[in-house]
Amino acid sequence: MSSASSPSPVPLDLPFVRHTLANGLDVIVHEDRHVPIVAVNVWYHVGSKDERPGRTGFAHLFEHLMFEGSAHYDRGYFPPLQQAGALVNGSTNTDRTNYWEVVPTSALDRALWMESDRMGYLLPALTRARFQTQQAVVLNERRQNYENRPYGLVTMALAEALFPPGHPYSWTTIGSADDIRAMQLDEVQEFFRTYYHPANASLVLAGDIGAAEGIALAERYFGDLPPGPVPQPVTADASFQDERRLYLEDRVELPRIYMAWHTPAIYTGGDAEADVLAGLLAGSKASRLYRALVYEQRVALDVSAFQNSRELGSFFLLAATAAPGRLLADLAAAVDLEVARLAAEGPSPGELARVTAQVEAQFVYRLQTNGGFGGKADQLNAYNVFTGDPAFFAADFARFQAVTASSIRMAASTCLAPDARMLLSVVPRDRAALALDGSERVTPS
Amino acid sequence: MTTVDRSRLPDVGSDPAFAFPQMRRHRLSAGLDLRTIEHRSLPVLALALQVADGSGSDPAGREGLAALTADMLDEGVGDLSALDVAEALERIGAEYHVDVDADATTIAMVTLTRHASRGAELLAGSVLRPSLREEDFSRVRQLRLDRLRQVRDQPAAMAERGLLHLLYGTHPYGHLPIGATGSLRALTSADVAAFHAAAYRPDRATLVMVGDLEHDAMRDIAEAAFGGWTPGRGREAARSPVETVTAAPGPSLAIVPREGAAQSFLRIGQLGPPRRTPDYEALLMMNAVLGGQFVSRMNLKLREEKGYTYGARTGFDWHRQASTFSVETHVDTAATVDAVLDALAELTDIRGARPVTEDELAVAKASLTRGLPRSFETAPQVARIASHLVLYDLPDTHFEDLSARVRGMRAEEVSQVAAAHLHPDRFSTLIVGDPAVGARLAQTLGLGEPVVLSPEV
């Protein structure tokens, strides 16, 4: 319909200016004057991968402490920013910790003052009472998002099953409840000194601000903070030599099967193909697994697939919930058949064209917001921290454009091998018989 | 390098100028009301087709009909199968999303501007010519029955279902849009066809288009796609609920048992005024102070002071008729009774014992005025906001009016609406949690045995 008149590709661009301060802080400015707001986004290159066994969950607990106030404004991080009309948040994952605020242009100075104060002067404001309260808050976050949520403990089971003991991904970012309880206030000091300083951080300003002005402001507020030593990169490997079968009992009505494979690390060869595979298999109603499992055979209620791209190595996770009375073995067999077909035949030209159209649209949609999780500021920081190049946006798009039927076929056969994966059955309590045959029970908590 | 003065926070400058997007109204030949907004930042087009019937229009005993009908729209269009429709959407990189609430059904699409005509055509196809085939109907109904079963896994969904029942009783607002097992089983494809004919009519619908196109270009695209829309053979327009809501008796305590739960999911709620109440802005201010943002009484007390929860919030669920106002939070099982007492104290004290302070007023004003421009960043955001104006028949100057009204508001006005609209003697308290906690709570609150709501849905 549309192709006759206007096949012109969308100009995809995420322009910026980068400047590194003398203390090592990367400052990246992206100008977008459509709305009078500025997105302030700070990444620290530290996540749960940098923790040690016995102190899992530390990076995330620390993130909470960053919102409790700093030396020169010690009455909480939120009030002066909410008074300026800002939206404020942060998050921690295995690889990094991010903090952001979206402020009216008129409040940019205040936001930078606050961000720089906690980067330089967090510790004097940190009291034992605040530390203990946030321990309790995080334990409740853990109950809410994992322990008391259906299929929530799968995250814990996956981390332990996918990675060998001691691997930095073998524990979850939220951490174990015992470790969270065991943390001591004095351990916070060392963590702050090691990871929270300009040389381990990257600042993006995106929105109603020019490059020169943005860099001058960053220099003004962050320029006199002392750098620390750049932390040693963490490395680790993980792979499967065979198929592991596990099961987990949970407070759920319907059994669900999870399949997980190790896949190439973020932005490395094969990562984009794995992303595309997820879409081909389960990205929509037109996907292969939705069609087979939900639409035609009706053995499953839902199916999803996801390339979980990470720094030290990714994993591909597929999940399908059994329709009432259906066996997980039937779901697994149907999945295996479709994955094998894709590995043998590759996608059709029509499928590939649909993938290309969706990838292009998604890259455009990603440019709609300056701030928040996944907005332009967050993307620029992801590229800068993980590849060293904020301009990687174009290369990121190019690697998806370079995907071919044969590269997808190759990825399906090498990444999604049936004999090198983990199968996790989640079954209702006391219904172990509903798990796949030969599964070993796991009891994460 | 100048040294930063860290002895005081930088002041916030005067608010930057911001013009709310201008909406243009059109009437298409089919009688359809069209609103267009030019949004020039990216080659993106957002469309939202809203019909004035949602789950509140479900007939008694047919709860779930509006949502099932909406779900059927893309399950086959004309000669296209459900999979054909999904493929067609993928070919233009479109996102398609249906939302059913008590008052309306909204079918939203986002696509690239160069696929604007095709996107509008696909949207129109779903709305005007869904196939509504029997085999698709039974498949989709079964999927919704299965999802309903999964509601039992989710404390928040169980609580929402319970609270609607406690507050609205048998009023059409008193059920989840997905309905109940019995009502879904009773539905037929003929019910869906009848509901579609009655509710999906050009004289009861509004189309919003927001994107990188001129107003007239959007109108032409809409005219081409929706021009042939004629009212179906529905005997009459679907009935928006007209029954008066009677205030729930109270106070009451109810529990949905979840033995051994690590947390209690807590709701404390009451009925509130309709969306078009003249107190709307003051109530938004009250909510911001009480629990509508991080820096609010409820969150600071339950999370930052006590550590009982990961977060606590309050909010209105606005409706054409009586809305709800409620607290929601997941709290540590051991702290449940104390958390309920603290929450009730906050709800009560703002009515007089601890009136709104000037500091609280300033933060609430800032979030409602200074924070507003960021809600207009993307075309889909703007389309959602425009649909909201349509749904409640609000003037095009709504955001200018709201900002002016909020800026001029005094702390006493906020305390006064709290006293007028919050009714501690009628709060319904509901927990999804361990039964032993429910018993302790009943004893503490002196409300007698808690009502036990069955987890059966």
Interface contact B379-A147, CB threshold 8 A = no
Contact assessment for residue A250 and residue A151, using Cβ atoms and an 8 Å cutoff: yes
Of A59, A88, A374, A406, residue with least CA distance to A200: A59
Q: Which residues of A touch B380 (CB under 8 A)?
A: 368
Q: What mean pLDDT is reported for chain B? A: 94
Q: What are phi and psi of B41, to 5 degrees?
A: -80, -35
* pLDDT, tens digit (0-9, with 9 covering 90-100), for A389-402: 999 999 999 999 99
Nearest-CA distance from A53 to chain B in Å?
A: 24
Nearest-CA distance from B50 to chain A in Å?
A: 23
pLDDT at B241 over 60: no
Query: Where do the domains of chain A lie, and which CATH numbers do they carry?
Result: 17-222 (3.30.830.10), 243-441 (3.30.830.10)
* pLDDT, tens digit (0-9, with 9 covering 90-100), for B10-19: 999 999 999 9
> How would you classify the pairing of strands B95-100 and B44-51?
unpaired
How many Cα atoms sit within 13 Å of B343 on the Cβ side? 31
pLDDT at B201 over 90: yes
B30 CB-near residues (< 8 Å, 6+ apart): B202, B226, B227, B228, B229, B230
Interface contact B93-A148, CB threshold 8 A = no
pLDDT, position A7: 42
pLDDT, position B61: 95
Return the residue of B nearest to A372 by Cα.
B374
The two structure tokens encoding residue A289 = 């697994």
Of A160, A193, A159, A185, residue with least CA distance to A65: A185
Of A133, A215, A64, residue with least CA distance to B335: A133
In terms of phi and psi (left: phi > 0; alpha: psi -120 to 50; beta: otherwise), the region of A166 is left
Tell whether the torsion through CA atoms of A400, A403, A405 and A410 is positive or negative.
negative
Give the count of Cβ contacts less than 8 A between chain A and B. Answer: 233
Average pLDDT of the segment spanning A155-179? 97
Cα dist from A36 to B15, B372, B450, whole Å: 9, 10, 51
Tell the burial category of A52 from Cβ atoms under 10 Å away from its Cβ (0-12, 13-18, 19+). Answer: exposed
pLDDT at A157 over 60: yes
Alpha helices in B12-73 (DSSP H): 65-72
Interface contact B146-A150, CB threshold 8 A = no
Question: By three-state DSSP, how is residue A237 classified?
Answer: coil
* pLDDT, tens digit (0-9, with 9 covering 90-100), for B72-94: 999 999 999 999 999 999 999 99
B130 at A interface, C-beta within 8 A: no
pLDDT at B106 over 80: yes
pLDDT at A5 over 80: no
pLDDT, position A2: 36
Q: Which residues of B touch A137 (CB under 8 A)?
A: 303-304, 307, 309-310
pLDDT, position B231: 77
Return the residue of B nearest to A33 by Cα.
B41
Q: Which residues of A touch B16 (CB under 8 A)?
A: 36, 104-106, 208
> How would you classify the pairing of strands B205-211 and B95-100?
unpaired
Return the residue of B nearest to A13 by Cα.
B42
pLDDT, position B232: 64
How many Cα atoms sit within 13 Å of A270 on the Cβ side? 17
Which of B295, B297, B329, B372 is best to mutate for the A interface (most A CBs within 10 A)? B295
> How would you classify the pairing of strands A421-428 and A201-207?
unpaired
Share of chain B above pLDDT 70, in %: 96
pLDDT, position B244: 66
Query: Where do the domains of chain B lie, and which CATH numbers do they carry?
Result: 24-226 (3.30.830.10), 252-452 (3.30.830.10)
The terminus-to-terminus CA distance of chain B in angstroms comes to 66
B 36-75 residues with CB < 8 A to A: 40-44, 74
* pLDDT, tens digit (0-9, with 9 covering 90-100), for A45-69: 999 999 999 999 999 999 999 999 9
State which amino acid sits at residue A319: A
d(CA B62, CA B60): 5
Question: By three-state DSSP, how is residue A317 classified?
Answer: strand
DSSP code per residue over A349-364: HHHHHHHHHHHHHHHH
List B265's β-bridge partners, or say none. Answer: B330, B432
pLDDT, position B131: 98
d(CA A216, CA B1): 9
The full 3-state SS of A156-196, as one line of letters, equals: HHHHHHHCCCCCCCCCCCCCCHHHHHHCCHHHHHHHHHHHC
Look up the ipTM and state it: 0.95
pLDDT, position A3: 37
* pLDDT, tens digit (0-9, with 9 covering 90-100), for A315-344: 999 999 999 999 999 999 999 999 999 999
Return the residue of A nearest to B2 by Cα.
A220
d(CA A90, CA A99): 4
Of residues B377 and B2, the one with the higher pLDDT is: B377
Interface contact A140-B94, CB threshold 8 A = no
d(CA B98, CA B134): 21
Average pLDDT of the segment spanning A300-306? 98
* pLDDT, tens digit (0-9, with 9 covering 90-100), for B149-164: 999 999 999 999 999 9
The beta strands (E) that lie in A151-235 are given as: 201-207
Which of B140, B370, B375, B382 is best to mutate for the A interface (most A CBs within 10 A)? B370
Distance of CA B384 to the CA centre of its chain: 11
pLDDT, position B457: 76
Of residues A115 and B239, the one with the higher pLDDT is: A115
Tell the burial category of B430 from Cβ atoms under 10 Å away from its Cβ (0-12, 13-18, 19+). Answer: buried
B21 at A interface, C-beta within 8 A: no
